[in-house]
Amino acid sequence: MFRSIGAIVLLVWSSLPAHAHQVIGIADGDTLTLLVDQKPVKIRLADIDAPEKKQPFGQRSKQSLSKLCWEKEADYVVQAIDKYKRKVATVYCDGVNVNKSQVRLGMAWVYPKYNKDPYLPSLQKAAKLTGLGLWADVAPVPPWEWRKALKSLNN
């Protein structure tokens, strides 16, 4: 029995990120900068999409991520590198999964095009049902639709 408990603990421990890094910047509700080996590394939160800065709830989403992470220790698990050369990752600030927290608090949408986390849709549904964060808006517009509309206006 102790052998199987030890194996489970080892398995969980080995799947956790290896190093903690200082959060030195918050760009918006789904992008932050960590100090890694004395160099700034920009991280895009995986699976979610937060409101744009000038979009309704954009500043509140940024403030929420700041509250969760600013000047705290963060670990991350990279899922991909995006077209802007940012690491796309699940981020843990003081042990809290901030990708999930942003959705749970109504500060970000699940990004359907890229989501790989099966638990995020239920967190979003709960936030929506209780009117948390951006879900308090009468007709919230997902950021991918907001960007598309802005792009078509500028063309």
For the record, the structure tokens of 147 come out as 């960007």
Rg, the chain, Cα only: 17
SS3 77: strand
SS3 84: coil
SS3 55: coil
SS3 125: helix
Sign for the pseudo-dihedral over CA of 118, 119, 124, 129: positive
List strand residue ranges (DSSP E) for the chain, in order. Answer: 21-28, 31-36, 39-45, 48-49, 73-81, 87-93, 96-97, 109-110
Task: Supply the residues annotated as catalytic.
Answer: 44, 52, 86
